[in-house]
Chains A and B, each alone.
Chain A
Amino acid sequence: MTGVNAMEPAVADAAGERLARIGRTLALTALPVAAALAVSAMVLLAFGVDPLEYYAYVLRRSLLSGLGLQSTLTRMAPMLLVAASLILAFRAGLWNLGGDGQFMLGAVAAAAVGPALAGALPVWLVWLACMVAAMAAAAIWGLLPAVLKVRSGINEIVTTMMTSFLGISLANALIKLTFKDPAASEPQTRTLSAAERLPFLGDSTITSGLLIGVVAVLAAHFVLARTSYGFRLRVLGENVPAAIHSGYRTGWLTCSIFAISAGLCGLAGAIEVIGVQGNVRADWNPAYGMMVIPLIYLARFNGLATILFVFLYAMLSIGTESAARRMGVPHYFTYVVISVLLMAIAAVSHLAEHRARTGKARP
């Protein structure tokens, strides 16, 4: 009898704890988003733009119109690959901030290989060659900061930034000098015709690259959660001395993670080229590498949540581009939203940790 009495509160406690955890997760997610939208609204107000009208316009153009929704889903493809790349690197505690350089080099590699092989090979083989070339180019580029970190202990934050600037310049130089389309007036690479690009999904105008992106994020999630490589990667990210004492070859691990992470960013570039753009124009740089960072933090590295937040950001990205043309608000506004989101996530999770710590300290 005492046993039954003792059980009941325990069960209730477990249920209550579960509810509290769900509530906490929701708060950790919703608060930063709300803060980002509110602060960004104030920025809009300062420029004399009605924020409600602006947000409604973004929503209409990116979600509620059929064509807009298809653009949003197409935009997700490269972003998801970048997200997969950053999830792996960040879970290993490695700051790969060079995603933009890796993306651009991958894009240029694909744009160099694609039109050269198109016609000579079946299209699927051309796509495969583009993706492999892009991943290889980006992975080699990504190894540079990795080797500097492993050999000389130089913090990768600064070196990946440097290699990002270098990579973007190198990509532009390659477009203008090596892979320039002689027939085009503006500097750009040769173009894949519509028939040589990745097919659309069904009757839509959504690129099938979206599937590659979804698979990549889910694969990254699976590798982290279910494989021994993923486990070693997480140990490295949580506790470097523990990884060393467990006998992991941390140097190789670091290099391999950087190569994979950079390779995925390169693949994102390839998907954008063979799926959407068809070529690379000089000075084109969508800068997905930086913008995706807050999204994977918000998703707390969970694959499914990442897909959701990438969708929301793709909406914002498509909507603001449209608003730039119609409402005259420059698309740089996304930088404001994303940066406030990033800082709000850091602040809110810091507060939550602080509360959890002080809460436990109470008797």
Chain B
Amino acid sequence: MTALLTEAFLTALLTGAIMAGIPLLLAGLGEMISERAGVLNLGIEGMMMVGAFLGFYVNWRTGSGALGFLAGAGGGMAMATVMVLFCVRRGINQIVIGIGLTLFAGGLTAMLHYYAFARSYPRLGARDTLEIPVLSQIPVIGQSLFNTHPVVYLSIALIAATGWVMRRTNLGLAIRAAGDKPAAADTAGVEIMAIRTAAVLFAGTMAGLGGAFLSTVSASVFVPFMTHGDGYIGIVLAMLSRGRPIWVLVGALIFGACLSMTTALQVAGIGIPTDVIQMLPFAAVLLVLILFGRSANPPPALTVFYARGSR
């Protein structure tokens, strides 16, 4: 009996960690690439908000989860285009534009929600799952890992793919060089602006996907400002991972577990206000920063503008 209970509990915890962790993972992965290329993207939170709204809205209108994800990714990418034009092409302060984009996205998505749904918060139907035969029969991890949303598999594949690109390919080398020493990389024939443009657009797309996952899969509902700091947790993940996607995955699952405790404890009916439980992930992030923050060394050219022939 107790064995059964723990298995059910562990499955629920792992499922919750994945559901809450995937948005963090996608945002953190995109931010990591962007930071390695030398662009600090503080607009990631806003890009997630746009992805969350568009993903939800398109899914709700068309009934298609895939279209929702496409719209979310596109929305995140569109926001990132502003960052490219202002920061990568013109060298305007990345921090200010990032904060501005986040504020803008918060206001815009809240207005869009109001004009689309007034004060109602419609819910989406059941989420898609893709069951992998045999593997899904493994106890505990079977149902949570191998009978889940397709985007979860996609995210894990993206972690593996970016890990390979960053460590084994010329493109990965060029990305790292753009953040470490752009002038030297430029001399070696690397197009810094092109690399950084691609990196920022990738970050926006990932953040948009993460936002769409948050609203259409994790929550099945859109609420203004629902990202509630997930983008900033993604930035911390990117900081701590030091260019290794596998650490983004590990961190996302840990913080995701903290976030999912919120729902788990509420379901368990423990009489603590949600506010106390909502503090958990941020307290965990700060604790991790206190313990390991010293080892997070950012790329030297982070936030430094580079254009061929300037100065």
Query: Which residue numbers of A lie inside 8 Å of B, CB to CB?
Result: 43, 47, 95, 97, 144, 148, 152-155, 157-159, 161-163, 165-166, 169-170, 172-173, 176-177, 290, 293, 297, 329-330, 332-336, 338-340, 342-343, 345-347, 350
Distance from A119 Cβ to chain B, minimum over Cβ atoms (Å) = 29
Contacts of A161 in B (CB 8 A): 229, 232
Q: Is A346 a contact of B239 with CB atoms below 8 Å?
A: no
Q: Is B293 a contact of A162 with CB atoms below 8 Å?
A: no
Q: Which 10 pairs from chain A and chain B are nearest by CB?
A: A335-B107, A339-B103, A339-B104, A332-B110, A343-B100, A172-B275, A173-B275, A342-B100, A336-B107, A154-B293
Distance from B36 Cβ to chain A, minimum over Cβ atoms (Å) = 16
Q: Report the bound CA distance from A329 to B102 in whole Å.
A: 20
The A-contacting residues of B in range 277-305, CB under 8 angstroms, are 278-279, 282-283, 285-286, 289-290, 293-294, 296, 298
Q: Is A346 a contact of B93 with CB atoms below 8 Å?
A: yes
B101 at the interface (CB under 8 A from A): yes
Q: Report the bound CA distance from A293 to B42 in whole Å.
A: 15
Q: Report the bound CA distance from A345 to B103 in whole Å.
A: 15
Q: Report the bound CA distance from A108 to B20 in whole Å.
A: 30
Q: Is A339 a contact of B101 with CB atoms below 8 Å?
A: yes
Interface centre among B82, B91, B290, B294 (most CB of A within 10 A): B290
Q: Report the bound CA distance from A297 to B92 in whole Å.
A: 15
Q: Is A157 a contact of B97 with CB atoms below 8 Å?
A: no
Q: Is B111 a contact of A47 with CB atoms below 8 Å?
A: yes
Q: Is A170 a contact of B115 with CB atoms below 8 Å?
A: no
Q: Report the bound CA distance from A49 to B293 in whole Å.
A: 48
Q: Is B106 a contact of A162 with CB atoms below 8 Å?
A: no
Q: Is A290 a contact of B103 with CB atoms below 8 Å?
A: yes
CB-contact partner of B96 in A148, A152, A169, A342, under 8 A: A342
What is the chain B residue whose CB lies nearest that of A147? B290
Contacts of A43 in B (CB 8 A): 108, 111
What is the chain A residue whose CB lies nearest that of B96? A346
The A-contacting residues of B in range 79-126, CB under 8 angstroms, are 82, 86, 90-93, 95-97, 99-104, 106-108, 110-111, 114-115
User: Known interface pairs A290-B103, A338-B103. Does A166 touch B286 (Cβ–Cβ under 8 Å)?
Assistant: yes
User: Known interface pairs A169-B275, A177-B273, A346-B92. Does A339 touch B232 (Cβ–Cβ under 8 Å)?
Assistant: no
B163 at the interface (CB under 8 A from A): no
Q: Is A346 a contact of B100 with CB atoms below 8 Å?
A: yes
B228 at the interface (CB under 8 A from A): yes
Q: Is B290 a contact of A152 with CB atoms below 8 Å?
A: yes
Contacts of A329 in B (CB 8 A): 111
User: Known interface pairs A148-B289, A173-B273, A347-B92. Does A333 touch B232 (Cβ–Cβ under 8 Å)?
Assistant: no
What is the chain A residue whose CB lies nearest that of B91? A350
Q: Is B224 a contact of A347 with CB atoms below 8 Å?
A: no
